[in-house]
Structure 1
Amino acid sequence: MVPVPTPSTPPQIPREVLEDAVAHLAPVLPLLRELGERFSAKGHDLALVGGPVRDAFLGRESLDLDLTTSAGPEVTEEILAAWGDAHWDMGRDFGTIGARRGEHVVEVTTYRADEYDGTTRKPVVAFGDTLEGDLVRRDFTVNAMALRLPDLELVDPHGGLVDLAAYRLRTPSAPEVSFSDDPLRMMRAARFVAQLGLVPVPEVVTAMEQAATTLQIVSAERVRDELVKLLLAPDPVTGLRLLVDTGLAEQVLPELPALQLEIDEHHRHKDVYEHSLTVLEQAIDLETGPDGDVPAPDLVLRLAALLHDIGKPPTRRFETGGGVSFHHHDVVGAKLTAKRMRALRFDKDTTKAVARLVELHLRFHGYGDGQWTDSAVRRYVTDAGPLLTRLHRLTRADCTTRNQRKARRLSHAYDDLEVRIERLLEAEELGKVRPELDGHEIGEVLGIRPGPVLGRAYSYLLSVRLDEGPIGKEAAADRLRQWWAQQPEHEG
């Protein structure tokens, strides 16, 4: 039978709630209890803390096993070395030692009582002497719960379990103090809104509004990591709205609030901000599971959906008669996307993929009534390359019109385009499209060596291949000679 933490059970928490939580920890309880006994034998306390405890009460499995202890890092390392299959220094100066036993990894950190200097996010490290003192420095009450080991005594001095049951997001200390200590906690607030459906209390929202600019002292990499976690959450839109409403988005992703273009009676146009959030939601609905060709959640697709129209504010023009245009916002948006993602230190491949999708997101609208030639379809596929599946989903998600007739027409048109793409892919293997002469053969036909001229010749034959489909090596060689006759190098 799973042991139940009864010694200090808060009276307002039903026993069955605790039983269910502990039941979710059952696979790791023997390991945790043994580790707790080893620390206790050395005269030190040990507790499971934070996310794993919160997730147990939510009925969620947690891969993290974060523990906190009264022992210093040297003692912790000694205990873990004797207990685990392997151990390592994760940050001795911060009191954290890691260890692995079988398939389980634990991180054990000495009680902390850090102070921040207000100019950087790096704390002045100070070790604490009580579990309660450690819990009060944590970000939110739902993460400030602990289970003492080995007895599984619940320690919840700030009412985190009650807040969790009420879907309420509060800080253990005053929110303005908590966010001043660590501004990244404001990003975490938005993430927990998106991940767990928690609702921040008014004082938390107010503190976020007042401290938004302090996020500037946090490194771009840490901000990016929190943004990614938010975007990959089940409901990223609610988290993004909190970022925008509190002014945090101005520090993180200013292109998003910039989409809130004013709308007046003379220049009516679609609300680009609301449209973008809707496109994100619809793109998520089109994601496939882990067995699909693009596993969900799909960060590249979600970023492209969110950012696809950020080129509209700088390209907006009011036309005669009250219309509004956004000419070339796809190209401008792609450049802005790449710039912002580089500023957030995204890797090159992700940045390139998202920017390319933003650049291509309007391409389908040239399809019109399905009058594209096979050449145009080939170019669509070739330009999308490995992003074709994502481009399909982004394009479909980008239809947010309330005009059902127009929506059906666009859907049917894209259905038709996808059918044509599949036929051409099957017939011509467009995913592997190449000129019908390789570089060596081009050099032999023209009598030239590898270099820039041969590269231009290769590009020319690729365009012929895309425009006309397979024409055979002999015809390709003839076309190449005709092209060569018009080049200045040939005349020279």
Structure 2
Amino acid sequence: MSDAPLPPLQIADVQQSAAEELDRISAVIDELGHRFRNAGHQLALVGGPVRDAMLGRHHNDLDFTTSAHPDQTEALLKGWADAMWDMGRDFGTIGCRKGEWQVEITTYRSESYDASSRKPDVQFGDTLAGDLGRRDFTVNAMAVLVPDREFEDPYGGVVDLAHRVLRTPGRPEDSFSDDPLRMMRAARFAAQLGFTVDPAVVAAMTAMSERIEIISAERVRDELVKLVCAPYPRLGLTLLVETGLAARVIPELPALALERDEHHRHKDVYEHTLTVLEQSIELEDRLPGGGPDFVSRFAALMHDVGKPKTRRFVGDGTVTFHHHDVVGAKITRKRMRALRFSNDEIDAVTRLVELHLRFHGYGSGEWTDSAVRRYVRDAGPELERLHILTRADCTTRNQRKADRLRRTYDDLEERIERLSEEEELASIRPDLDGNQIMEILGIGPGREVGQAYQHLLELRMDRGPMSEEQARAALIEWAAQR
């Protein structure tokens, strides 16, 4: 995976791809186009669907813009759509589903942000050209009027798309002032499409990076997730760091650029981190659902964020980062909370960050079966992701060492698989449950039951499965010693 830009496209190929996609979706665009035109309104396919059609990317989510106002759009969709919703009515959007197609139709509009506001002031417009002029980038400011399929490209989007360049329809400063989230979108589209970003856009992002702070954490989070899950995340992340946006939305990432990797095999921990992210992506096919997998990727991105706070220089000139795994997990939890991630996502990522060094205690296979059981228990449902992160974290250029680490981890996975078959490691529990403990000890619910349960769990880890009689005897011995 490279951060180099992709080669340019031929405009003739772009146009041919668009024509084929319009034919594929003709059942929707022709019917809707006639409905709106017969009612005296314009309707145009716009934005992402037009851009993606030219790139040969097909999907069934279609965005339209129209001269009709929401009430008029709603009336025109009745009798045609299988289902409708209007959660976006305040923004001029009516959504619907028709068979396999999901459609959103938005009234021509213009919107801007107050300098201190997080919410746009929405005003409806009356021309397609005006609507296209307020869009984020030229490649998203192209439209196809339906049903006649007239192509509208007032800002040269098709040429920019062919050259794989992101530019704004007007001055980038004006665009980012109106909606600062567009700076995050520039990085996200670079990561999704493999595009370069026009120097004027990069300059505006750099100069205006503080404007991102008026945007809600939830909207920033959503763009960050899309970026991380894109085909070329390094492109987007590098842009965020170089423009200063990362320092405001995920400051732990640029902070890594100041830290030398302890093995001195990379320019810095920042470069190492991006390499680990890319290597983890290459291993996503190990996951049941494949990729992209946000939890796995974000854990790779955050796995070393504890290094800046734990860096220590030793007398011989080497650098240590003791306990950076534990510190990094705390930093990751704090950042993800600030970005309003769900508790499940936070728990999954922080668990991986905290455990990413555990394997290095395995040595050449010296772990006991008890230690292997604890590794599985502590990883819990994130075991497969932990396998990915641990393998991806090997970025040494020493091929002999890399091969040795790979073979050692292969051995650990084989032991896990063997023990799992023998003992059902994924659901390790004590050999007696809480009710049995209370019955044997003649006690009621309380702290002592939990302590007994934990003692039996530790025995289970150390010894493996026990019979009920063995577990009963161990429990009685524990109680007598207390």
Partner residue, 2:27: 30
- Quick one: distance in 2 between partners of 1:356 and 1:250? 24
Secondary structure at the counterpart of residue 107 of structure 1: strand
Partner residue, 1:181: 178
1:418 to 413, 425, 435: 413
Partner residue, 1:6: none
TM-superposed CA distance for 1:189, in Å, is 0.5
- Quick one: distance in 2 between partners of 1:205 and 1:245? 9
1:278 aligns with 2:275: yes
* CA displacement 1:45-96 (0-9 Å, x = unmatched): 1100000000000000133211111112221111111432232223322211
Q: CA contact under 8 A between 1:318 and 1:324: conserved in structure 2? A: yes
Q: CA contact under 8 A between 1:263 and 1:269: conserved in structure 2? A: no
Secondary structure at the counterpart of residue 109 of structure 2: coil
Percent identity of equivalent pairs:
64
Partner residue, 1:358: 353
Secondary structure at the counterpart of residue 113 of structure 1: strand
Secondary structure at the counterpart of residue 45 of structure 2: strand
- Quick one: distance in 1 between partners of 2:399 and 2:253? 28
- Quick one: distance in 2 between partners of 1:67 and 1:112? 12
1:142 aligns with 2:139: yes
1:333 aligns with 2:328: yes
Cα distance, 1:382–1:294 mapped onto 2, change above 3 Å: farther
RMSD: 1.8
- Quick one: distance in 2 between partners of 1:172 and 1:130? 16
Partner residue, 1:346: 341
1:218 to 215, 220, 226: 215
Q: CA contact under 8 A between 2:11 and 2:158: conserved in structure 1? A: no
Cα distance, 1:151–1:455 mapped onto 2, change above 3 Å: same
- Quick one: distance in 2 between partners of 1:220 and 1:169? 25
Unpaired segments ≥5 residues, structure 1: 1-12, 488-492
1:320 aligns with 2:315: yes
Higher relative contact order (CA 8 A, sep 6+): 2
Q: CA contact under 8 A between 1:112 and 1:134: conserved in structure 2? A: yes
1:399 aligns with 2:394: yes
Secondary structure at the counterpart of residue 114 of structure 1: strand
Paired residues for 1:417-456 under 5 Å: 417-456=412-451
Structure 1 length-normalised TM: 0.93
Partner residue, 1:4: none
1:42 to 25, 35, 39: 39
- Quick one: distance in 2 between partners of 1:452 and 1:357? 30
Partner residue, 2:463: 468
Partner residue, 1:293: 288
Secondary structure at the counterpart of residue 125 of structure 1: strand
Q: CA contact under 8 A between 1:168 and 1:200: conserved in structure 2? A: yes
* CA displacement 1:103-141 (0-9 Å, x = unmatched): 222111111122321222322221111101100100000
Comparing 478-487 with 420-429, which one deviates more in the overlay?
478-487
- Quick one: distance in 2 between partners of 1:14 and 1:464? 69
TM-superposed CA distance for 1:295, in Å, is 2.6
Partner residue, 1:233: 230
TM-superposed CA distance for 1:388, in Å, is 0.9
Secondary structure at the counterpart of residue 234 of structure 1: coil
Q: CA contact under 8 A between 1:338 and 1:355: conserved in structure 2? A: yes
Comparing 110-119 with 313-322, which one deviates more in the overlay?
110-119
Q: CA contact under 8 A between 2:259 and 2:307: conserved in structure 1? A: no
2:74 to 73, 77, 101: 77
Partner residue, 2:380: 385
Secondary structure at the counterpart of residue 410 of structure 2: helix
TM-superposed CA distance for 1:294, in Å, is 4.3
Partner residue, 2:108: 111
Secondary structure at the counterpart of residue 485 of structure 1: helix
TM-superposed CA distance for 1:431, in Å, is 1.2
TM-superposed CA distance for 1:269, in Å, is 7.4
Secondary structure at the counterpart of residue 86 of structure 2: strand
TM-superposed CA distance for 1:268, in Å, is 5.8
**Equivalent AA in structure 1 for residue 373 of structure 2:** R
TM-superposed CA distance for 1:188, in Å, is 0.6
- Quick one: distance in 2 between partners of 1:312 and 1:263? 9
Unpaired segments ≥5 residues, structure 2: 1-9
Partner residue, 1:306: 301
TM-superposed CA distance for 1:411, in Å, is 0.9
Cα distance, 1:212–1:26 mapped onto 2, change above 3 Å: same
Partner residue, 1:257: 254
Q: CA contact under 8 A between 1:342 and 1:351: conserved in structure 2? A: yes
**Equivalent AA in structure 2 for residue 451 of structure 1:** G
Q: CA contact under 8 A between 2:46 and 2:141: conserved in structure 1? A: yes
TM-superposed CA distance for 1:389, in Å, is 0.7
- Quick one: distance in 2 between partners of 1:99 and 1:297? 27
Partner residue, 1:57: 54
2:206 to 200, 205, 209: 209
**Equivalent AA in structure 2 for residue 324 of structure 1:** V
Structure 2 length-normalised TM: 0.95
TM-superposed CA distance for 1:406, in Å, is 1.3
2:15 to 18, 26, 39: 18
- Quick one: distance in 2 between partners of 1:15 and 1:250? 41
* CA displacement 1:269-305 (0-9 Å, x = unmatched): 751111111000000000117xx52431111100111
Q: CA contact under 8 A between 1:121 and 1:183: conserved in structure 2? A: no
**Equivalent AA in structure 2 for residue 44 of structure 1:** H
TM-superposed CA distance for 1:102, in Å, is 1.9
